[in-house]
Amino acid sequence: MGRKRTLRIRINPRKPERGSIRRAARIIMDGGIVGFPTETVYGLGANALDAKAVGKIFTAKDRPFDDPLIVHVCRMGQVYGLVKKVTLDAKVLMEKFWPGALTIILEKSPLVPQVTTAGLSSVAIRMPSHKIARMLIEEAKVPIAAPSANTFGKPSPTNAQHVLDDLDGKIDCVIDGGDASIGVESTVIDMTGTVPVVLRPGGISVEEISKAIGKVRVHHAVGKNAGKRNAEKLKKFTAKSPGMKYRHYAPRAEVILVEGRPARVMEKIGKLVKENRSKKIGLLLADSEKNAIPGLELMHGDVMVEYLGGGAQNAAKNLFRSLRKFDTEKVGLVIAQGIAEKGMGLAVMNRLRRAAGRVVRV
């Protein structure tokens, strides 16, 4: 007898039908796990207050149990039962950026099971802006713990098919609500210390947060230290946010990230293509800059090009889709062009550095 397939429920994200969402919510209420769309990426949700249900998320994703989950809520009032105290700065951020792509870490209340927070005394919470996600939480009548709905370590899913490519038969249901609008995960900020610390850049920029509450520190694991070598070093430390300890977001192919001055970057990419002509190569370029790579048109071999599009927001939206496309086309080596780290560019570069087996700076 074959493995049970995952139920796929298609819902119009602009006009969600509550009856269909209620069907998925019942699965959550009964201790099951459901893939669902958010504005950032697709999440894999379970009742955040049910330790057994949350454990199913880790099993389905093959996720280490020391990697904490984010708890999703649909209204402000839910937060107060999940935490010991909402700080003044946290309240300012909630009022300004919720619902939206910002996750806030506060000291947790005893109501939240240890498995949800990976044994930490803190809990990460956000209120998504996606209509389907909010309605699912409302109908389930519980906060929903949800990491990205993919096999651990792979590129995050930005549509329902990505979820099924990884998890079909391993989860109960996926709600198909079209493509995620942002394309990278939420920003995570730790509000438990004296100075707020950004642990993961994402859909809300560090600049926007600083403008709202003043001084903000960026964790040393976020920027240029986010590569493979530092991920190995960080395995022994306690992560308060998902996306900090392990290699993440990686396609099956080796990824080489080239960053630096644009002309030098394109020259180096050309050399790397020439050196690896025996492999099927995927080029991940910031914009339509294929012609800026010296001698590329004269090189023999199989070269596939994906463009992230102009600007950091387009790059974020297209990043995981492009990496997954390389997997579909069985690319053997991905060579990626770095982008400027302003605004959401920091989130894009964080993901690329964590995906990369090698980072070249020129």
Which residues participate in the annotated binding site for L-threonine?
40, 72, 126, 146, 186
Residues annotated within the binding site for ATP are: 63, 148, 156, 200, 249
Q: Where are the alpha helices (DSSP H) in the chain?
A: 18-29, 51-61, 76-82, 88-97, 131-140, 160-167, 206-213, 228-234, 262-275, 312-328, 345-355
Q: Is the peptide bond before 110 cis (omega within 30 degrees of 0)?
A: no
- Amino acid present at 72: H
Cα separation, 147 vs 12, in Å, equals 23
CA distances in angstroms from 357 to 251, 258, 275, 285, listed in the order given: 11, 11, 17, 17
Closest to 168 in 3D by CA, of 3, 5, 2:
5
Cα separation, 315 vs 101, in Å, equals 16
Residues annotated within the binding site are: 40, 63, 72, 126, 146, 148, 156, 186, 200, 249
Cα separation, 20 vs 5, in Å, equals 18
Cα–chain-centroid distance for residue 333?
A: 22
- Sequence-ordered list of residues with C-beta below 8 angstroms from that of 362, at least 6 positions apart, any chain: 258, 259, 260, 261, 264, 265, 267, 268
CA 231, 234, 238, 243: dihedral to nearest 10 degrees?
-10
Closest to 44 in 3D by CA, of 52, 32, 36, 54:
36
